[in-house]
C-alpha cells in the first residue's frame, strides 16, 4: 500500500485551517491494537497539542510548516524534513505557522 504524506499534509492543513479546533488528523498506519501507529496531524498556526507525556517511543516528522517542541525549559524548532524525538517527560508541540507532521508511536516492548 502506498500513501502520499505530502498530499495528506496539504489536505489536513486545509481542514485544520477551517476547523473550529484548529486541528485535523488521520491515522495512516496501525492503531491502538498495533505496536506501531502513525498519524498525520495538522495544526493551524498558533495552535498546539496540550502538554502531555507518552510512556512509549514517539517521533514527530515535520511535513509542512514550522513547529516547536517544548519540554520544560528545553525547546526545539523544526521545519519540513526534520525529525524530532519526543523526550520521556512532559512536552507539547506548537504550530508556529500552519503545519502538518507525521506523529509516530511505537509501543515499548515488555
- Residues counted in the chain: 110
> Percentage of residues in the chain with pLDDT exceeding 90?
69
When computed from its CA atoms, the radius of gyration of the chain, rounded to whole angstroms, is: 13
Report pTM: 0.90
3-class SS of residue 107: coil
Q: Are the C-beta atoms of residues 27 and 52 closer than 8 Å to each other?
A: no
Structural domain boundaries in the chain: 5-106
> Which pLDDT value is given to residue 87?
84
Query: Does residue 110 surpass a pLDDT of 70?
Result: no
In the DSSP assignment, the letter for residue 47 is -
Q: What are phi and psi of 6, to 5 degrees?
A: -65, -45
Query: Does residue 108 surpass a pLDDT of 80?
Result: no
> Which residue would you say has higher pLDDT here, 58 or 21?
21
Q: Are the C-beta atoms of residues 65 and 94 closer than 8 Å to each other?
A: no
pLDDT digits (tens, 9 = 90+) for 29-73: 987 778 899 999 999 999 999 887 777 788 999 999 999 999 989
Q: What is the dihedral of CA 50, 53, 56, 62, to 10 degrees?
A: 40
DSSP 73-92: TEEEEE-TT-EEEPPSS-EE
> Which pLDDT value is given to residue 109?
61
Q: What is the rounded average pLDDT of the residues 90-102? A: 95
Pick the CATH number of 5-106 from 3.40.50.1240, 3.40.367.20, 2.60.120.10, 2.60.40.10: 2.60.120.10
Amino acid at each position: 500500500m502506498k500513501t502520499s504524506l505530502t498530499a495528506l499534509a496539504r489536505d489536513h492543513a486545509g481542514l485544520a485551517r477551517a476547523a473550529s479546533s484548529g486541528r485535523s488528523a488521520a491515522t495512516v498506519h496501525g492503531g491502538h491494537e498495533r505496536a506501531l501507529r502513525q498519524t498525520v496531524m495538522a495544526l493551524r498556526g498558533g495552535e498546539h497539542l496540550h502538554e502531555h507525556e507518552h510512556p512509549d517511543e514517539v517521533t514527530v516528522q515535520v511535513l509542512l510548516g514550522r513547529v516547536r517542541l517544548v519540554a520544560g525549559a528545553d525547546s526545539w524548532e523544526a521545519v519540513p524534513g526534520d525529525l524530532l524525538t519526543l523526550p520521556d517527560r512532559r512536552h507539547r508541540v506548537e504550530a508556529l505557522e500552519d503545519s502538518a507532521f507525521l506523529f509516530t508511536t511505537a509501543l515499548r516492548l515488555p
